[in-house]
Amino acid sequence: MRSVRSYAVLSVVLVALVLLSACSPAAPAPAAPAAPAATQAPAAPAATVAPAATQAPAVPAKGAGAKKIGFSVYDMQYGFFQDMEKGTREAAKAAGYDYALVDQKSSESTMVASTQDLINQGIGALIISPFKPDAMGPVVDAAKAKGIPVVVDDIGGGGTNYDVIVISDNQKGGVLAADQMDKLIKGKSGASKNVASITCEPSAVYAARRNQGFEARMKELGYNVVATLSGNSKQEEGYKVMKDILSAHPDVAGVFSCNDPMAVGAAQAIADSGKSGSKDIFVIGFNADEIALKAIKAGQMVATVQQVPYQMGKMTVDLATKLMNGEKLKFDNDQNREIYVPVNLITADNVDTLLK
């Protein structure tokens, strides 16, 4: 009886096992979709995203790989370069480009290393406002080796194989400053015919044209340029240089500065000597930085020559686009591949139009 029951139980177990084995394909079934899920991740949906990315720069750029603009800026602590960067960034974004920025922080080694990093990011074009133009050679060579066009924004090209450089009409700006100073000195009774010139750093070869234009024009007008000293583009050095000028030439009637930070420093030195930079010794700067505009408004200096760094930044993006598209550029100076941007004289009469 027990054996019969054992057979019966065994039969039931065998039947159950057969039924389970028949149903067993249902258990791995959830695993089957895992393979399609794995293939879906890199498959068609991901591939179709790429064309969408290439559509972003479709307006300006023909090359599918030319979708990021890299900008290496001189030093973001200065208002001039803040405006330049803003124009570059906004133009790049408006055109549909990705945008990458590095700040050289007035350092040659940082300029070279950070700009090389930009190039290695796979940018479509390099825009650079170099702290040390003479050290640009390896950077430009690296960009060219990868087929990346190089647009220089101000300062200088260092004799490298850049594609184009955008600069203000510096020579004309110096002449504007000279004519304004002549007018002011002639209107001041008893003023001497002695003037001074504060230059930027020696490597800023394009900025040097400002002082060259100023000095040549002042000499044409019958003035004596009694001092030409470098303030290396820094406010504190402009202050020190002006102290030296005042010590050697206490009767100096006016001073022209290659940039506004140095002009503001010079105006402070004049103020510390008990005189005014807008009534006693006429101080004229260059750039139209906010610090200079406020100094003009406060009567601490008399004028500045306005560059338009925001527009310069926008222009470099447009030029980069043309280069990426293989278009030929039109230069103001073919030999040096230069394009000039107009400048304007800013005085107390029109400074309010620029103050933020």
Give the integer Cα–Cα distance in Å for 181 and 184.
5
- Locate 224 and state its tokens: 């004596």
In this predicted structure, what is the pLDDT of residue 93?
96
In this predicted structure, what is the pLDDT of residue 298?
98
Question: What percentage of the chain exceeds 70 in pLDDT?
Answer: 81
In this predicted structure, what is the pLDDT of residue 356?
72
Q: Which of 324, 326, 192, 307 is nearest to 258 (CA)?
A: 307
Instruction: Average the pLDDT over each of 48-62, 81-95, 171-185 and give the range with the smallest value.
Output: 48-62
Give the integer Cα–Cα distance in Å for 342 and 83.
16
Residue 205 confidence class, pLDDT cut points 50, 70, 90: confident
What secondary structure does DSSP assign to 65-85, as a single string? T--EEEEEES-TTSHHHHHHH
Cα–Cα–Cα angle for 112, 118, 124, rounded to 5 degrees? 130
Give the integer Cα–Cα distance in Å for 200 and 203.
8
- Mean pLDDT within 112-116: 98
Amino acid at 278: S
Interacting residues of 238 by C-beta distance below 8 A, sequence separation 6+ = 198, 231, 257, 261, 262, 263, 264, 265, 266, 269
- Locate 40 and state its tokens: 């879906």
Going by the DSSP 8-state scheme, the letter that residue 134 receives in this structure is G
In this predicted structure, what is the pLDDT of residue 27?
36
Task: Answer whether residue 64 shows pLDDT above 50.
Answer: no
- Locate 163 and state its tokens: 């594609």
Going by the DSSP 8-state scheme, the letter that residue 281 receives in this structure is S
Q: Where are the alpha helices (DSSP H) in 221-308?
A: 235-248, 260-272, 290-297
Q: In the Cβ-directed half-sphere of 148, how many Cα atoms lie within 13 Å? A: 28
Task: Answer whether residue 137 shows pLDDT above 70.
Answer: yes
In this predicted structure, what is the pLDDT of residue 304?
98
Owner of token pair 């001039």 = 80
Q: Which domains does the chain have, with CATH numbers?
A: 61-167+310-340 (3.40.50.2300), 170-287 (3.40.50.2300)
Residue 338 confidence class, pLDDT cut points 50, 70, 90: very high
Torsion of CA 287, 293, 296, 302, to 10 degrees: 10
Q: Which of 123, 98, 101, 124 is nearest to 114 (CA)?
A: 101
The predicted-structure confidence for 143-171, as pLDDT tens digits, reads as follows 999 999 999 999 999 999 999 999 999 99
Residue 90 confidence class, pLDDT cut points 50, 70, 90: very high
The predicted-structure confidence for 4-61, as pLDDT tens digits, reads as follows 334 343 343 333 333 333 333 333 333 333 332 232 232 332 332 232 332 233 345 5
In this predicted structure, what is the pLDDT of residue 146?
97
Interacting residues of 227 by C-beta distance below 8 A, sequence separation 6+ = 196, 197, 244, 245, 248, 249, 252
The predicted-structure confidence for 271-312, as pLDDT tens digits, reads as follows 999 999 999 999 999 999 999 999 999 999 999 999 999 999
Determine the angle formed by the axes of helices 290-297 and 260-272, rounding to 10 degrees.
40
Q: Report residue 212 CA to chain centroid gap.
A: 25
Give the integer Cα–Cα distance in Å for 168 and 153.
10
Residue 269: phi and psi, rounded to 5, are -60, -40
Task: Answer whether residue 353 shows pLDDT above 90.
Answer: yes
- Locate 237 and state its tokens: 């050095």
Residue 248 confidence class, pLDDT cut points 50, 70, 90: very high
